[in-house]
Amino acid sequence: MFWRWILGILLFLGLLIWRIRLGLRLSSHGERVDAELMVGPFRIPLTAKEKQPAPVKKAKPKRSEKTGVPAVKKIPKPTLEDIKDAWRTLAPKCKRALWRTRRSIRLHPLQVDVCLAGGRDPAAAAELYGYAHAAVWTVMPALEQLLAVPDPHIHIGIDFDAEETRVTGELGISIRLGTLIAVGVGIGLPALRWFLRFYRRRKRDPDPKRETIQSADTAA
């Protein structure tokens, strides 16, 4: 009889832990981005407070340029073709995994203003502007069917005089722990396989422009 009480308490605690809502909230106001982690009713700031600049110290003479520490390899930046390949690969998996959650993932707030920079390459910025609008109008209706999005607001503009893209607004997402495990299993493995394929392709040919030219020559 006593072990039944223990089993019942453990099942009750497991159900509570399974239904704990986790969340992440990001807010961007210019160059600074603040992040906040939500665990149930608790909120944990992830962004360190700005520290006062330390007094300037005199630079010490360099002993040697070779430190013996191996350089950290940078992850190659994905091109537009890589993003399209990721969309074709992961979109069906994400839709299937999110559909099983029955809108238990909450996306609130969603207030984002993006101003694309077109000062360096106006043609590329205009192309990215078109793709961004197409992505918003394609993705948002599907997200509103799969997730709970109470009041979305996304604005995308372009400034041909700006040198850097500006992103301002607030973005928050919350999910139950059990749902997070289920979605992670459904999406994590396909995403890992795509990333490994992308990394090997970029390691084999680090210049995406050369790969595009070779593909065009082969097609011709």
- Is the bond leading into 109 cis (omega within 30 degrees of zero)? yes
Neighbours of 86 (CB within 10 A): 17
Per-residue pLDDT of the chain in tens (220 residues, 90 and over written 9): 677 888 888 888 888 888 888 999 999 887 788 999 988 888 899 876 655 555 666 555 555 444 554 445 566 667 777 777 777 877 787 777 777 776 778 888 999 999 999 988 999 999 999 999 998 998 888 888 888 898 899 999 999 999 899 999 999 999 888 888 877 777 887 888 888 888 888 777 766 555 544 444 444 4
Dist. CA 24–CA 77, nearest whole Å: 25
- Check: CB of residue 176 under 8 Å from CB of residue 19: yes
Global pTM value: 0.59
Sign of CA dihedral 110, 174, 183, 193: positive
